[in-house]
Amino acid sequence: MHQIHKAGEKTFVDYAGTKMEWIDSFTGEIHYAEIFVGALGASQLIYCEATKTQTLPDWISSHVNMWEYFGGVSEIVVPDNLKSGVTKAHRYDPDINVNYQRFSEHYGFAIVPARIVEPKDKAKVECAVGIVTRQIIAVLRKRTFTSVAEINAAIKPLLSKINHQPFQKMKTTRFELFESVDKPALKPLPKERYYFEEWNKAKIHIDYHFVFDDHYYSVPHQYLQKPVDIRSTAKTVECFFENKRIAIHERNHKKYAYTTLKEHMPAHHRAHAEWGPERIKRWAHKIGEKTALFIEHVMNSRPFIQQSYRACLGILRLGERYGNERLEKACAIGLDAGMTRFKQIETILKNKMDSQLPENTNEDNATLNHDNIRGAKYYK
């Protein structure tokens, strides 16, 4: 039966049977890109692009790109019974993939799969696939590509040529027909672009982080050991506890690294995390010049500055036990002797070695009198 398609009513989508080859420039491995094809019912305007797979993320991403190419959304999409879109095919009541259904609700179109083994239900896209195969895939078959992005860059001008070439039996083009018939009838694009969502289960570890895609994300510390649901997109990772969102992070693809928000940390962890070299140096300067120089010396003595933090904090806290004046003298002795350890400064203070510095002598040139220190005569 001859099908009459209303303006802006239907878009037909499918994959071409022929794939396009591309070579990974780093490994030399050969891959085969899938070719997604979509066609509007009334104007027959065609959209196509290459994707790495036919999996759900690529399937939905191709739809998003197609709507943006059309500049609007049709009322209905007619897909084949691909697993990415249809979980269970059925003549009367097919099961639509949950994520595909959410995507359709976001853009405001209905999903009406074609009947099984009934290509005439999607004749427009079957025709479009043939055109794409002959005028794009065949034309590019001898070119060498090193990425899917390269393939899509090559497809773009050829696709434009197809949409602007005249029909064989009509004195118009797909693009002209689209501008006058389909475009005015399409629904507007939503304000926000849709990003594919993936849902996972997780449990909050004792360090108030959960793991997703080998990266650690924080949640408020009150949710330790709680089971949670994780919703991820290409840009964000969200955490839900009992259907309430408790954390949202920008997605980070760095393996085994941490993304931690300060407000998620317990107060004592937050206080500890705030310690850094600048804060330690400011504390040292408040005690005195020699203490500040000694702390700088300790920091420079370690291969990594972070390894010096505990020693520096221990040294500065000695001022609370012995007094800042004595610590200043002990640091002067430490600088003179080239010391770099907390225990060395603690020993000076415990044994009151700092009190043997002459009061009216320049501390930089003061010689400490002690049984364990060899004088100049020893070396004669």
The pLDDT of residue 305: 79
Whether residue 260 sits in one domain with residue 358: no
Q: Which residues contact 31 (CB under 8 A, 6 or more apart)?
A: 21, 22, 23, 24, 52
The pLDDT of residue 30: 94
Whether residue 192 is contained in a domain is answered as no
Q: Which residues contact 355 (CB under 8 A, 6 or more apart)?
A: 326, 329
pLDDT of the chain along its 380 residues, tens only?
456 678 888 999 999 989 999 999 888 899 999 999 999 988 999 999 999 998 888 999 999 999 999 999 999 998 876 655 555 444 444 566 777 888 889 999 998 887 554 555 557 778 899 999 999 999 999 999 999 999 999 999 999 999 999 988 788 999 999 999 999 999 999 998 888 878 889 999 988 999 999 999 999 999 999 999 999 987 899 999 998 999 999 999 888 888 999 899 888 777 666 667 888 999 999 999 999 999 999 999 988 777 788 889 899 999 999 999 999 999 999 999 999 999 999 999 999 898 875 554 444 444 455 555 555 444 44
The pLDDT of residue 380: 45
The domain boundary residue, chosen from 271, 289, 312: 271
The domain boundary residue, chosen from 185, 216, 236: 185
The pLDDT of residue 170: 80
Whether residue 321 is contained in a domain is answered as yes
Instruction: Answer yes or no: are the C-beta atoms of 70 and 47 closer than 8 Å.
Output: yes
Fill in the DSSP letter of residue 379. G
Helix/strand/coil for 122: helix
Burial of 346 (0-12, 13-18, 19+ CB in 10 A): middle
The domain boundary residue, chosen from 245, 271, 297: 271
Q: How far apart are CA 105 and CA 375, in angstroms?
A: 88
What CATH code is carried by the domain that includes residue 133? Answer: 3.30.420.10
The pLDDT of residue 366: 44
Q: How many CB atoms lie within 10 A of CB 299?
A: 21
Whether residue 1 is contained in a domain is answered as no
Q: How far apart are CA 316 and CA 324, in angstroms?
A: 9
Whether residue 266 sits in one domain with residue 279: no
Whether residue 128 sits in one domain with residue 23: yes
Whether residue 214 sits in one domain with residue 110: no
Tell me which residue has tokens 């027959």: 44
> What does each C-alpha distance from 11 to 110, 285, 327 come to in angstroms?
10, 71, 79
Q: How far apart are CA 160 and CA 170, in angstroms?
A: 18
Whether residue 174 is contained in a domain is answered as yes
Whether residue 193 is contained in a domain is answered as no
The pLDDT of residue 81: 66
Whether residue 234 sits in one domain with residue 98: no
Whether residue 279 sits in one domain with residue 134: no
What pTM value is reported for the model? 0.58
Whether residue 370 is contained in a domain is answered as yes
Number of domains observed in the structure of the chain:
3
Whether residue 299 sits in one domain with residue 238: no
In the numeric block, which tokens belong to residue 107? 């853009």
> What does each C-alpha distance from 131 to 82, 127, 180, 198, 212 come to in angstroms?
21, 6, 22, 34, 42
Whether residue 44 is contained in a domain is answered as yes
Q: Are strands 198-203 and 227-232 parallel, antiparallel or unpaired?
A: antiparallel
- Domain extent, residue 33, equals 10-185
Question: How many angstroms separate the most distant Cα atoms in the chain?
Answer: 117
Q: Which residues contact 1 (CB under 8 A, 6 or more apart)?
A: none
The pLDDT of residue 275: 67
Q: How far apart are CA 351 and CA 330, in angstroms?
A: 11
Whether residue 361 sits in one domain with residue 284: yes
Whether residue 151 sits in one domain with residue 220: no
Letter for the amino acid at 122? K
Whether residue 366 sits in one domain with residue 250: no
Whether residue 92 sits in one domain with residue 41: yes
The pLDDT of residue 370: 54
Whether residue 5 is contained in a domain is answered as no
Whether residue 206 sits in one domain with residue 64: no
